[in-house]
């Protein structure tokens, strides 16, 4: 919920001293509201008022980071209900569930799987993010052993520690190390006092679990009063309908009403909602679309996790910024000096479609990608970013001429009209009009381009 400058002005001293850099307190209030100034810039602000302003100006949803180092997962700090209003900022984390009741082989297999299940999509590496370690054996020593194993063998992967047994949960935290910032789950009405005292000494994110959104809010209010702010919410939804209802209530209360006790990301458990693997994937897909911060899955196979990763990518890319790839000459299938040369735009989906079809053809080729600010072929041509002038300029600076013995350039079929102009700009080159669709590239390359 946006804060207005007029709301802030009434809390300022009203001296118009100019020491903040603004001519009036109202001007300073407007700067604060737009995020271009800090409360500390006012030397005469009462400490209590400063604290109120900091809380008022804080993002409506808290940012929570799980894990440490380069692969830490940050969730929350979202600003809108719907992606088209602005963008979603922090993609949900996928966590693979490991029970301490599983065999050594099964545990090792899951650790190996989360490392190996990585996919390249339009130049972006897609992978799962977290391991969720679940205490189910009833043997604290066995659970601690699992936690230590993961801490040793998968130290770069963030962890969610899950145990209804508070003693086991805290021993697991000691074994893993609070400095690595695992998510401690669950904090409930029964153990909140004990865990609060422990977390004050060893800070780490915590997951709150209760039977309803209202009960969750009551628990987070207690944690915030104790100075604990890295919180993840679980209203214990039992099915997709409840989950969509609860996730929407949480997001709306935080963003539209400014209700701080619910201003945190959430954790969801499709793995506990069903025993059917296909249904679990469908539940996960629904939860990704409806605000989940973490999605815990019982298993991960390439055919199930890949579509979820692509869905996450599609939802959490910025609609204001087209997906792009780097402007450069890409070598496909180990080309030599006689290899054909294709030029196209740097819209990521265009690159992905064209390069994939070139690879399928098995024909060694060069793919020249020109920076068109992420626009596809027709959009780039219509806006003057993929024309005879821009293509010729790029081809001259790309260095492709030094890699080949011929001077033949294939352009997309959709811009056949620029062939003559491009031949004037590149008089030493023969311009060939290629396929209109990427699917036509393999046939064209296999038959051989007629120069």
Q: How far apart are CA 191 and CA 187, in angstroms?
A: 6
CB 315 within 8 A of CB 288: yes
Three-state DSSP state, 124 = strand
Q: How far apart are CA 7 and CA 295, in angstroms?
A: 38
Tokens 């969730």: give the residue. Answer: 75
* Residue 368 labeled ligand binder: no
* Residue 376 labeled ligand binder: yes
* Residue 438 labeled ligand binder: yes
Q: To which H or E segment does residue 160 belong?
A: strand 158-162
Residue 227 CB: number of other CB atoms within 10 A? Answer: 10
Q: To which H or E segment does residue 149 belong?
A: helix 140-153
* Residue 274 labeled ligand binder: no
CB neighbours of 293 closer than 8 A, spacing ≥ 6? 64, 75, 76, 90, 92, 93, 232, 265, 266, 267, 268
* Residue 65 labeled ligand binder: no
Give the residues across from 124 on adjacent strands.
121
Tokens 């118009």: give the residue. Answer: 16
Side by side, the strands of the sheet bearing 341-345 are 328-332, 365-370, 341-345, 408-411, 430-433
* Residue 20 labeled ligand binder: yes
Write out the two tokens for 212: 């309803």
Q: How far apart are CA 74 and CA 91, in angstroms?
A: 8
* Residue 220 labeled ligand binder: no
Residue 321 CB: number of other CB atoms within 10 A? Answer: 10
CB 372 within 8 A of CB 385: yes
Phi, psi of 121, deg, nearest 5: -135, 115
Write out the two tokens for 250: 């949480």
* Residue 377 labeled ligand binder: yes
CB 235 within 8 A of CB 275: no
Q: Which amino acids are annotated as binding site for 5-methoxybenzimidazolylcob(I)amide, given as ranges?
A: 344, 350, 374-377, 438
Q: Which amino acids are annotated as binding site for [4Fe-4S] cluster, given as ranges?
A: 17, 20, 25, 42
Q: Which amino acids are annotated as binding site, given as ranges?
A: 17, 20, 25, 42, 344, 350, 374-377, 438
């Amino acid at each position: 919920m946006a804060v207005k400058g007029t709301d802030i002005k009434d809390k300022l001293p009203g001296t118009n001293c100019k020491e903040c850099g603004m001519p009036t307190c109202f001007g300073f209030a407007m700067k604060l509201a737009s995020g271009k100034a800090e409360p500390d810039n006012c030397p005469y602000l009462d400490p209590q008022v400063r604290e109120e302003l900091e809380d008022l100006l804080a993002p409506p949803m808290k940012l929570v980071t799980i894990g440490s180092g380069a692969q830490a997962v940050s969730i929350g700090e979202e600003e809108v209900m719907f992606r088209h209003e602005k963008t979603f900022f922090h993609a949900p984390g996928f966590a693979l569930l490991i029970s301490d009741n599983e065999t050594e082989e099964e545990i090792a297999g899951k650790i190996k799987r989360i490392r190996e299940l990585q996919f390249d999509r339009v130049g972006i590496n897609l992978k799962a993010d977290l391991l969720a370690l679940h205490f189910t054996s009833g043997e604290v020593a066995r659970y601690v052993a699992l936690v230590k194993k993961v801490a040793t063998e998968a130290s770069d992967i963030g962890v969610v520690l899950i145990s209804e047994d508070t003693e086991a949960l805290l021993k697991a935290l000691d074994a893993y190390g609070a400095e690595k910032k695992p998510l401690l789950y669950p904090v409930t009405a029964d153990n909140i006092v004990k865990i609060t005292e422990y977390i004050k000494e060893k800070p780490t994110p915590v997951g709150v679990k209760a039977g309803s959104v209202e009960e969750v809010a009551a628990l987070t209010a207690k944690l915030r009063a104790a100075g604990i702010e890295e919180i993840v919410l679980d209203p214990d939804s039992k099915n997709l309908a409840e989950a969509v209802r609860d996730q929407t209530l949480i997001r709306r209360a935080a963003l539209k009403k400014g209700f701080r006790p619910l201003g945190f990301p959430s954790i969801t458990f499709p793995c506990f909602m069903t025993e059917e693997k296909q249904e679990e994937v469908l539940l996960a897909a629904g939860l990704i679309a409806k605000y989940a911060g973490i999605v815990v899955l019982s298993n991960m196979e390439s055919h199930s996790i890949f579509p979820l990763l692509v869905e996450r990518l599609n939802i959490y890319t910025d609609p204001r910024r087209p997906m792009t790839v780097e402007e450069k000459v890409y070598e496909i299938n180990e080309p030599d000096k006689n290899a054909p040369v294709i030029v196209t735009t740097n819209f990521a989906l265009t690159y992905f479609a064209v390069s994939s079809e070139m690879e399928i053809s098995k024909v060694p080729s060069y793919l020249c990608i020109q920076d068109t600010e992420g626009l596809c072929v027709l959009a780039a041509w219509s806006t003057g970013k993929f024309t005879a002038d821009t293509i010729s300029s790029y081809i001259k600076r790309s260095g492709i001429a030094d890699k080949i013995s011929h001077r033949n350039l294939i352009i997309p079929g959709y811009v056949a009209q620029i062939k003559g102009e491009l031949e004037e700009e590149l008089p030493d080159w023969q311009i060939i009009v290629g396929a209109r669709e990427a699917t036509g590239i393999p046939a064209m390359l296999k038959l051989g381009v007629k120069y």
